[in-house]
Homo-oligomer: A and B are copies of this chain.
């Protein structure tokens, strides 16, 4: 169990000085080709790996970016994360993943930990309750997802547009009694924004609204389904694919009701089990890549703060 080698050892073994080795490793400055080769040979031979923490301390740059997601088991979020990881690796960053579970306290704690680790940047999946104050000090090295916030770059979803698109699509399909199953307005985006969009869509399309708001899980979808599946209802828009699953369960138990279900989200499972669903997805992978790209841009040269708004796309076959 010998100690790990250091550039000093490499220098000794290749008969040069530490700084030359450092130059070779970081591919900078002019090094005589022959010297370089010699050093590279030694490095390869001993499988030398320079210490990150030493470098980090010296250069004040850890090449780590922190990712704070609300829930590891959210399909949307882990799709986004999966998409950005390779991009980060590619630029030499590694990701430190933390879970907030929608707790602002945890976000603050995690941000502190990340600060202590001197991470170069952070990608934070927002949720209602987060305030600007909690993000103080991270301007220009933090990209916010799902939420926007003054002074921070962000990647958001066009919630209103999505509901609109769904509503008018259903109308074109001939539906006139389109109800809505959503989430408490307490949740700003998924809850409030989408619900209001539904209401205004109804106004525009001259439909009488019928809505029920609950929580995010499918149990809520199931429980509230009856309220938005009346005898007149011909279609229901679900704020979330998860909610749609609840509705489908309800509809299976009430087979006499013939209702078109539409939902925002992209759980492939939903489309698999219930092929006649109308789904609208934002492309979480795209969102993840966008966020990563923007963060990297911020870190290399001070790129301007920007907000991206992802439009939804229908994935139905109609």
Contacts and interface: CB of A to CB of B under 8 A. Distances in A.
Contacts of A72: 72, 78, 81-82, 85
A62 to B, nearest CB: 6
Contact of A50 (B85, B98, B116, B273): B116
Interface in A201-240: 218-219, 222
Interface stretch (A51-59, A124-132, A182-190): A51-59
Contact of A52 (B75, B85, B118, B269): B118
B269 A49 contact: no
Nearest to A218: B272
A227 B20 CA distance: 66
Interface stretch (A89-97, A144-152, A191-199, A257-265): A89-97
B95 A52 contact: no
A51 B118 contact: yes
B52 A116 contact: yes
A249 interface: yes
A117 B52 contact: yes
A41 interface: no
A115 interface: yes
Contact of A272 (B71, B95, B245): B245
Nearest to A97: B97
A222 B54 CA distance: 53
A79 interface: yes
A105 interface: no
Contact of A249 (B82, B218, B272): B272
A245 B62 CA distance: 44
A53 B57 contact: yes
Contacts of A222: 272
Nearest to A115: B49
A248 B272 CA distance: 11
Given A72-B78, A218-B272, A249-B272, 18 more contacts: A51-B57, A52-B117, A52-B118, A53-B57, A53-B117, A54-B57, A71-B82, A72-B82, A85-B97, A94-B113, A94-B117, A95-B98, A96-B97, A219-B272, A222-B272, A245-B272, A245-B273, A269-B269
21 contacts: A49-B112, A49-B115, A51-B57, A51-B118, A53-B53, A53-B54, A53-B62, A53-B117, A57-B57, A72-B82, A78-B78, A82-B99, A94-B96, A94-B98, A94-B117, A95-B96, A218-B269, A245-B272, A245-B273, A269-B269, A273-B273
